[in-house]
Structures are given as structure tokens and as C-alpha cells.
Structure 1
């Protein structure tokens, strides 16, 4: 029996350190080769670190939320046999592929290790699946974002699900097995007071979102303009275009029309398509229009970027928007696809309220918020008629954008959206 150190490998892109966002093991756990040890995060990229060999965890090197330097010891393993013959500081780190902005949702036990590499006690230590799971009060079930989303959609409480993955991690198969046993475990115990308090450490992507929002609100004096738009003509036009869908052309939503309207309005007001370096006192106005689309994913909010909207037609905007949104939600978007925006759209779709107060994506100077469409009575001069109305909520950096210029931009968007044919007419 000997001890081996597993170091944090070089995860590329010149990264010197990474934030530890999740442990998949604890001291005393028995692991097999390729079992997951931890998940680390750099910028918006999550990386899962596998074990290079089998053994027992004897030491862990950091706490959740701490920065770990590349090459520093992540865990120490008690190993037996041939694995113990190598010096502790020379344990080879597994090659690690850097995924995208959000951790990929794949079952961690889908890579079986060769039988010869498994510590004899590791198999005996695996608990059998039972009809109920007992966890310590406040203990969080281990599961990937995709597993948690699947459980929410199925109405499953993960605290009742037994995990068969490494360190009790819950897999897709565990959810399916739980559901196959029927709703017996889902019954409630009646109404009773609850006194538990769960402490959730803000780490990883959630911490980066918090830092970004705090930076935006603390450094940017926001001015928000809310304007209602009659989108009845636009919705009729969109419905007519969607009557003949093609496999290569996804159905058009409202967003591609808004993107094209923004491209036209920004060509008239380039000061709004800009990044403000407040430290240097310079506003960088961009000729290319790169629109970030705020997208909700299982791990949090990310902003994939549709590049060069000024050079894309309606269908091209729709195709690229769908491609990027899919990659963001699947966790396969690249760093290039998640950076470089010059202005942002945020939309809650049908879930949105009458109005919102969007937070500017620093260091941009403007953001356009889309609220839900609702049929409301509108006075046409002689009578009230039902119209499909939608409010635009747009925020601007008041340090560099005057209220007048912001209002001109919003009114131009309103004019274009209420008269959709003008979006496609050159001046």
C-alpha cells in the first residue's frame, strides 16, 4: 500500500489556475480509474477531472470555491500493487478535454474501468439500490445540471433517489429506475412546519454571473425606457412566412425580426453599438453588429453571440440564433461563440411580464428587453380594437448615452416593428 498524488492537469488556453466548483469524492471514498474526482471552472468553461488510477481517497486539496493552481496536488490516493510503486509526486494526470461554457450532461459511470485496475474493496463498497435513500440533513444529492433538469421536469425529489455513480452521483438510469417503481415514494406527509436552512455556496458560473451583475449595476448608471409596440402586423407577417417551413429553415420567432430592426436602427445611431472602457475614458464604436442573446441554461445564464448581424438576412439570423441557443443549452458552445457582443437582447418569452428593467451587459452601453405579447384593446381613433401588444424595455448607459438618443432609438425600433416591411427596405 502506498500513496499517490493526483495533480490538476494543464487544461489549456494558458490558464494558470481554475476554480474548484464541485467535489465528486471525499476522504475515504474508493474510486476506480476514470471515476470523476472534481469539476473545476475557468472563465465559463467547466472541466471534469477523472482519476488516473484506482485507490482510496486519503486527502483532498481544496474547498469549493477556492482557486487551484495548475500542477498543484488535487487529491492523494492510497493505492495497492503496481500503482504504489511510482513516487507520489509523479502520478500522471489524465489528459483532460476542455468542454464549453457549461458542463456536459453525460453519465459519469459510462466509462467502465478494466477489471484489473479496480481496488478489490471498491466493488464491495458499492451499496445496493434500495427503495429509499437516507442522507444527512442538508446533504445535497450529487447530480449534473442535466440530471437536475430531468428530475424537475419529472417531479422527482433527488433526495429520494439513490445514486449509483461515483461517490453516489445520480445518473439518468437512476432517475429512470426511480420512476419505474411508481409514485409510492412521492407521497407527502401533510402540512408541517419546516425549520431546515440550506446554505448554498455561490461558485462557478453562478458566481461569475453575480460578479458581472454587481459590476454592471455598481459602475453603470442605467436609464430604462419602456415602450409598447403593436406587433399585430408583424405577427401576421411572421405567421405567413412560417406556413411553408423547410427542414433547413427553423420556424421564425420574433427575435430575428428584432435583430434585423436593431441592425437598421444601429446603422443610424452607431454610438449605441459600442463598448465603454471607463478606465481609459474611451467609447469603442463598432461597425460590425454582434448581438448577444441572453440564454437560460441548466447551469445559469449565458450569452451566445450572433456575429455580424448587419450582413445576415432574416433566415440566416434565425438559423444562427437557433444553433447558438442549442449549443449553449447543451453545454457545447465555444468561448468564441460566447464572447464579442456589442449589444444584447434579453427575452423571457411568454414567461415575461408587462415590463422589465434589463441590466446592461458590461462593458456594452445598451440592452433591449423583450416582454410577452398580449392582446389588449387599442383605440384606433374611432373605436377600440383588439391588438397584439408587446412592451420593449431597453436600458442605456447614461454616462455616454443621453436620454434623447435612447428615446430616438426606441422609437425607431417601434416604427420598424409596427411596419415590418420597412425592415427590409433600404433607405
Structure 2
């Protein structure tokens, strides 16, 4: 028998270290070649690291939340036969991207894909099943954060029935806890146990990036009300004749309006390298789309949004949002944005002040659509009261780069396109 030292592999160009997100083995476990050992997060991806050998785990490098340098010891495994005393760092293992990098996992926003075409009221949580059926632990689907929380609470995930698609989420744990608090539903107002949750992985990166953005960027926000009655009417007409094209939400129409407005306001579609003191005004619009996932907020990027029509935008929005949620998004699909759009969907409220996706210099936040009586021209020189659909557009800007006048002018020009949507389809 011999000891094999498995060093932290090279998991990407320019990556010097990675954070331990979740161990799948412990000291004393027997492992086989290609077995999943540990999840680590770099600044580019969360990666599954697999064993290069068969053997028994004798030592592991650290605990969840610790940072391990590339080339340093990750595990020591007892193997049969002889191995070199000081093996070279193992090559990069077969890796599956679980939750790709967020360049700045941006504002406290929700899924932009569902943002503006959702039902006015959020759906209620499904009721828990009173007699959960046990399932084999190997088939339980849950994110690392959900698994860690379940371990902290002493919950066997095999006893928790997921609400949808077979994956257990935090809401399912909440329902399980509520039902089992007293043999049934907990009484209204009943206190629940305090929780201590270590901030690791994607949530840690979100916290760091949000703190850096607010610490280094002097934000200012501007909000304007837009009448989207005609835009909504056009959207309905286009959907009624879409054939096999994807269903249009409000989002691709807003993106089209943004891309049509940006050429006159190049300071909005920019990135600021504050260390080099250089602002790059981008010609192409690589639009980040804040998307809520089980692992946290991600920002997949619509490349060259200015070159896509509304149907192509709609298809790309769905594809990227699905990839972000199921962990199949590639690194290049989650970096390089020049401007971000974010929304809280049906929870959007009257106005938001989103946090800038650093090093970008602006972020746009459409809010909830509401219906309200408005005075409109009656065509005879007077006015009449009419029910209209209204939506506020919020923008936050980096005041080091964007002046208030420029931000307001940009939104006012954007408003003209939104309120006269036929112009969106004009060349």
C-alpha cells in the first residue's frame, strides 16, 4: 500500500485558487477512479473534481469555505502498489460546469426572463404532502446549498417531497419544517429555530461583488413612467400570429428599444477600468440578463443583442435562462456583458434602484406593469379618461462616467420608442 497525494488541479487558465463548496467524501471513505470527490468554485465556474485513482481517503485539505491554491494538496488517498513520492499536480479532471461564473452577480433582482410577462400575483406555495414517501438518497436532487441546510437542520432529504421537477429547493424544506413542527401545519406566527448558515460559494461571490460595487461606484438612480399600452397591444398581436416562433414577453421588446437608443448614448454601454482609469465605450451591445436560480443570481449574456430581431432575442432569452438554471451555461455565456437589464417581475414594485454590474457603468430595471386611469387626448382638442397600462423604468449609473443629464436623456429617448412601438420595427 502507498499514499497518493492528489493536488488541486489546474481548473482554468489564469486560475490560482479555488474555494471548497461541498465535499462528497470524508476521511475513511473508499473511492474509485472518476468518483465525484468535491465541488470547488473559482472566479469562473463551480467545478466537480473527480478522483484519478482507486483507494481510501486518508486526509482532506480543508473545510467548506476554505480556499485551496492550485498545485497544493487536496486529498491524500491510500492506494495499492507504488506511487511517486512527489507526483506532479494532477491534470484538470473531467469537469461539469454546475453554476458558471457571474462577472458581478448583480443587483438584488429576479429572473428577467419571466419579469414582464408574469401573472400579476405570485403563485402560492404548494401544500406539503402529509405522508412523504421515502426515496433512495442517491436519487435525491438538490443544490449544494440545500443539502448543507438540510444537514444543518438534521433533515433526511429522502423524506422531503419536491414541489416540482424532482429537485428539492429551500421552499420544500420550509414546507417540510412547517408540517413537522407539530404533526401538521405550524400555527400562524410560530417561531422557528435560528439558523447559522456559512456564506460560501456563489452566495459568497455575490456578497463580495455587491460590496465592491457599492463601495467603489458612486451610484445614482433615475426613474421615469412609461405608457406601455400600445406596446402591450402590439405584443399581443405579434403573439397571435407567431406560428412556431417563441412567445414574446415584454423583455425582447424592451431590449430592442434599448439597443436602438444606445448609439446616441455611448457612455451608457461602457465599462470602466478604475485601476487603469480607462473607460471603454462598446459598439456592440452584450446585454447581461439577471436571472434567479437555485444557486443564486446569475447574469447570462445576450451577445450582439443589437444584431438580433425580437424573435431571435426571445429565443436567446429562453435558452440562456434555462442554461443558467440547469447549470449548463458556459463560461463565455456568463461574462463580458457591457450593460445589464434586471427586474423583480410581478414583485417589481413601483420603482427600484438596482446595483450596477461592475465594471459596467449602468443597469436598467423595468418595473411592474399596472393599470391606471389617465387623461388622454380625445381627438377633438379635449381630453378623456382612459384605462392605460403603465410601467416605470429605473436606471442606475456610475456617476464617475455618466452624468445625470445623459442618463435622463437616454431614458426619455427610450420612452419615446416604448410609447410608439411601431418605431421599433422600422429600420
2:215 to 197, 213, 218: 218
1:323 aligns with 2:316: no
Q: Which one has more relative contact order, counting CA pairs under 8 Å at least 6 apart?
A: 2
Alignment partner of 1:378 out of 371, 374, 377: 374
CA distance in 2, matches of 1:398, 1:76: 51
Q: 2 CA distance for matches of 1:4 and 1:281? A: 48
Match of 2:271 among 272, 275, 278: 275
How far off is 1:25 after superposition?
2.2
C-alpha distance 370-59 of structure 1, shift in aligned 2 (>3 A):
same
Alpha-carbon spacing, 1:348–1:158, altered in 2? closer, same or farther (3 Å): farther
Retained in 2: the 8 A contact 1:27–1:59?
Answer: yes
Alpha-carbon distance in 1 for matches of 2:200, 2:224: 37
Cα 1:415/1:174, change in 2 over 3 Å: closer
**Greater share of helix residues, 1 or 2?**
1
TM-score (norm 1): 0.77
Match runs of 1:163-182 below 5 Å: none
What are the equivalent positions in structure 2 for 1:416-427 lying under 5 Å apart?
A: 416-426=417-427
Give the match's secondary structure for 1:48: strand
Show CA shifts across 1:171-204 (max 9, x none).
x9897xxx9xxx9995431559757443222222
Distance 2:361 2:224 in 1: 19
CA distance in 2, matches of 1:60, 1:253: 49
Structure number with bigger Rg:
1
TM-score with structure 2 length normalisation? 0.77
1:308 is aligned to: 304
Structure 2 match to 1:360? 356
Secondary structure of the residue aligned to 2:275 is coil
Residues 226, 390 of structure 2: 8 Å contact kept: yes
- Equivalent position of 2:66 in the other structure: 66
Across the aligned residues of Structure 1 and Structure 2, the Cα RMSD in angstroms comes to: 3.4
* Unaligned segments of structure 2, at least 5 residues: 101-131, 160-164, 378-382
SS at match of 1:271: coil
Residue of structure 1 in register with 2:253 after alignment: 257
Distance 1:349 1:206 in 2: 21
Tell me the equivalent position of 2:162: none
Distance 1:2 1:210, change over 3 A: same
The CA distance in 2 between the partners of 1:279 and 1:379, in whole Å, is 50
Question: 1:174 & 1:268 partners in 2: Cα distance?
Answer: 46
Contact 2:48 2:97 in 1 (8 A): no
| C-alpha distance in structure 1 between counterparts of 2:328 and 2:370, whole Å | 34
Structure 2 residue 146 is matched with structure 1 residue 145 = no
Seen in structure 2, the aligned counterparts of structure 1 residues 143 and 5 have a Cα distance that, compared at 3 Å, is farther
Matches within 5 A, 1:65-214: 65-79=65-79, 83-87=80-84, 89-90=86-87, 93=90, 96-100=93-97, 102=99, 144-145=142-143, 148=146, 159-162=155-158, 186-189=179-182, 190=186, 196-214=193-211
Contact 2:3 2:83 in 1 (8 A): no
Are residues 1:299 and 2:295 paired?
A: yes
Task: Report if aligned partners of 1:51, 1:94 keep a CA contact under 8 Å in 2.
Answer: no
Change (3 A) 1:286 1:101: farther
How many angstroms does 1:92 deviate by?
A: 8.8
| Aligned equivalent of 2:243 | 246
**Aligned to 2:59, what secondary structure does the other structure show?**
strand
Structure 1 residues 88, 250: closer, same or farther in 2, change over 3 A? farther
Q: For 1:15 and 1:199, how far apart are their aligned partners in 2?
A: 30
Deviation at 1:84, TM superposition (A): 4.7
